[in-house]
Amino acid sequence: MNFDPSLQLPATFDIAHLALAGVALIMLIAFFLKSPKSLITPAPLQDGANLQDGANDPSTDPVVGIDKPKTRESSQDSVMKTTSSDSALQFLSLLQQEARIIDFVHENISDYTDEEVGAAARVVHEGSLKALSEYFTLIPIREEEEESRITLAEGFNASEVRLTGNVVGSAPFSGILVHRGWRVKEVKLPRISEGHDVAIVAAAEVEL
């Protein structure tokens, strides 16, 4: 299936912004494929349950309550046992359905003008936003306005805030908030019916 870059309203959209949007979507999909924490754990998240850090930690002995040593080998085994690709494939299918993302990234856009690519990017943007808004509840990690100066106190969560630039010394740090970050608060993916092949993210179409 070819992606028609002249779909819907024309709009200027330079290649740099288009590439940035594509990288963001690919990173999101890669996150679901590789995340060892269960953003893609089937049962609780598809029921609309909130994410809880540390729940069902496989490193805790259920009988005596003693933490087992987290060796490199046991950590890898834990990831292999708890990570599923079903939810990632399901969301990829939803992005294709709403935004035709697979058709778009596989299209050779070198023969099209920036205006034509921009018109197609509008379709991808609107469809991707619809899919994200419908199936995920996203909240910003930082409440401050971007480009404002903030101070990170000692003991700040390094997984929530990534330091860039000239990082010297120890906290507190003072700097400019470049991006507020995003946290997934809730996942509301549809249930997968028994026998459904999630690897088919877009069925072939035959017109009679």
Report the length, in residues, of the chain. 208
The distance of Cα 158 from the centroid of its chain, to the nearest Å, equals 19
Assess whether 95 and 117 both reside in one domain: yes
Assess whether 172 and 205 both reside in one domain: no
Using one digit for the tens of pLDDT, what is the confidence trace for 156-198?
999 999 999 999 999 999 999 999 999 999 999 999 998 999 9
- Classify each residue of 162-187 as buried b or exposed e, where b means 16 or more C-beta atoms within 10 Å of its C-beta: eeeeeeeeeeebeeebeeeeeebeeb
Average pLDDT for residues 91-99, to the nearest whole number? 96
What's the rounded Cα separation, in Å, for the pair 105 and 168? 40
Assess whether 127 and 106 both reside in one domain: yes
Assess whether 125 and 160 both reside in one domain: no
Instruction: Provide DSSP, 166-190.
Output: S--S-S-EEEE-----EEEEEE-PP
Count how many domains the chain has: 2
Assess whether 153 and 89 both reside in one domain: no
Assess whether 100 and 198 both reside in one domain: yes
Using one digit for the tens of pLDDT, what is the confidence trace for 13-59?
455 555 565 656 666 565 555 544 433 334 344 444 444 444 444 44
Amino acid sitting at position 102: I
- Output phi, psi for 165, to 5 deg: 85, -145
